[in-house]
Amino acid sequence: MTHTIDYKGFYLAFRDISRLVHSSTSVQEVIDLAVQKTTELLNARGALLRIHNRETDHFEVAAACGFAEQYLGKGPVSREQLKLDLNHRDDVCIFKDIWQAPRVDSPQRAWDAGVRMILDYPLHHDDAILGVIRVYLAEAQEFSQAQLDFTISIGEQCACALNKARLIENQQSQYNHLVLQTEKLSALGRMAAGIAHEINNPLGGILLYSSNMFKKAGDGDPCKKGLEIIMRETTRCKGIIQELLEFSRHKAPDKIRLSLNDIICKALSILDNEFMLRHIKVTKTLADDLEDILLDGNQMEQVFINLLLNAAQAIEKRGHIRIETRLDADHGLEIVEIADDGCGIAPEDAGKLFEPFYSTKSTGTGLGLAVSYGIVRNHEGQIRVASQLNEGTCMTIELPLDRPAPSELRNQGNA
Ligand SMILES: Nc1ncnc2c1ncn2[C@@H]1O[C@H](COP(=O)(O)OP(=O)(O)O)[C@@H](O)[C@H]1O
Ligand SMILES: [Mg+2]
């Protein structure tokens, strides 16, 4: 038998549910209303909604109405127990004979409660199954396509609400994780700064005395080699301490109008020796139409030294570093590219590069890129990485010109 279709009822129910999906942050409200309206509009004896728990891969009863309320206290069921046919994911499954239906666990109980027919339909979002709705009907009946479409659209609304709740939950847990990390990092930063400060002075003393002794030692002095090692290693420790101090200091940039090309040339000249020792060829292509922009010269020099050093260290033996500047007047940017043909970065490591203390080098501090990132951000700039494992890496720094970009003006004009 076919029931007359209550289009107005369907429409109003759909409107109420979709309103809740958009206005409420409570999934429970949405799914409670969904099972209630489904029961009413399909003249059912009840409806039940189970939500998929990703951790346990089980379906838990989350909302029920009418006959189905007796399932509220029941525990979760597995995919196998539900006998979900995921090949027919968008279909409404209709069981006209509840005694023969493979998915009905206790047909006797349903029959005794006056249930004669069951409808099942899964709640999907993209490829993930979020839950299932089951509707219990008092008589076997034919459903029109419009009625089935209605049930599916209610299911889609529920899936939407469940998906929204999941996104919020994920964002919240990512945010909590980030807050925790930030707190840990700032505590660590303060501690590191304290220790670094204390160690810096005695290191200065060691360096001073060892270099005095080195100068006084005669050519054949057996201590000379040892003193040389003490000086070299102490200098290395001082370098690490310096990086730690820079990292924890978060010094605001002291900007004046400077030429980016000049800063790059200075950084290159400091590293000249390093490149020569490593047999690295450096190609420099500096644009001659760059204008002076507001920069903290020392901080930006440190950025280029960090990036150039990383590039040099990525090249095991012989290689090529390309450094290029150019003006992107349309976007109001000056762009620097530092590319190497070194070891490259594995895709799974790319996200970690700017994390403080992330290093793949036995003697690395993992602070160079973290410091550089902070400096570039303090200049309202961006730093990007493109890399191919075993092929090389290209780091791009974009710094804004201190005047509105033509592209921005055009956008404002259109707005
Ligand atoms: N040009 C590059 N090529 C390959 N890997 C790089 C490059 N630059 C950075 N890296 C990776 O990023 C990590 C972090 O760099 P950085 O913060 O400068 O610390 P460190 O140089 O002390 O290891 C490096 O250990 C390295 O694994
Ligand atoms: Mg480095």
pLDDT in tens, 154-213: 888 888 888 888 888 778 778 777 777 767 766 777 777 778 878 888 999 999 999 999
Question: What's the CA-to-centroid distance between 243 and ligand 2, angstroms?
Answer: 10
What is the CATH code for 175-249?
A: 1.10.287.130
Fold of 7-172: Beta-Lactamase (3.30.450)
Beta strands 280-285 and 319-328: pairing type? Answer: parallel
> With 80 as the cut, is the pLDDT of residue 223 above it?
yes
Which ligand 1 atom sits closest to the C-alpha of 360? Answer: 25
DSSP H/E element including 326: strand 319-328
Query: According to the model, what pLDDT value does residue 259 have?
Result: 97
- The CB of 325 under 6 Å from ligand 1? The reply is no
Domain boundaries, the chain: 7-172, 175-249, 256-414
Question: Residue 110's pLDDT band (boundaries 50, 70, 90)?
Answer: confident
Side by side, which strands form the sheet with 77-78? Answer: 77-78, 58-66, 44-53, 128-137, 117-125, 93-95
Question: What's the CA-to-centroid distance between 294 and ligand 1, angstroms?
Answer: 27
Question: Which CATH class for the 256-414 domain?
Answer: alpha beta
Query: According to the model, what pLDDT value does residue 10 have?
Result: 83
Q: What is the per-residue pLDDT across 60-75, written as a single tens digit (0 to 9) for each?
A: 999 999 988 888 888 8
Name residue 131's beta-bridge partners. 51, 123
Query: According to the model, what pLDDT value does residue 401 have?
Result: 92
Which ligand 1 atom sits closest to the C-alpha of 392? Answer: 3
The answer to whether 7-172 and 175-249 have equal CATH topology is: no
pTM above 0.85?
no
> With 80 as the cut, is the pLDDT of residue 243 above it?
no
Question: Residue 21's pLDDT band (boundaries 50, 70, 90)?
Answer: confident
Which ligand 1 atom sits closest to the C-alpha of 358? Answer: 14
Neighbours of 313 (CB within 10 A): 18
Question: Which ligand number lies closest to the CA of residue 395?
Answer: 1
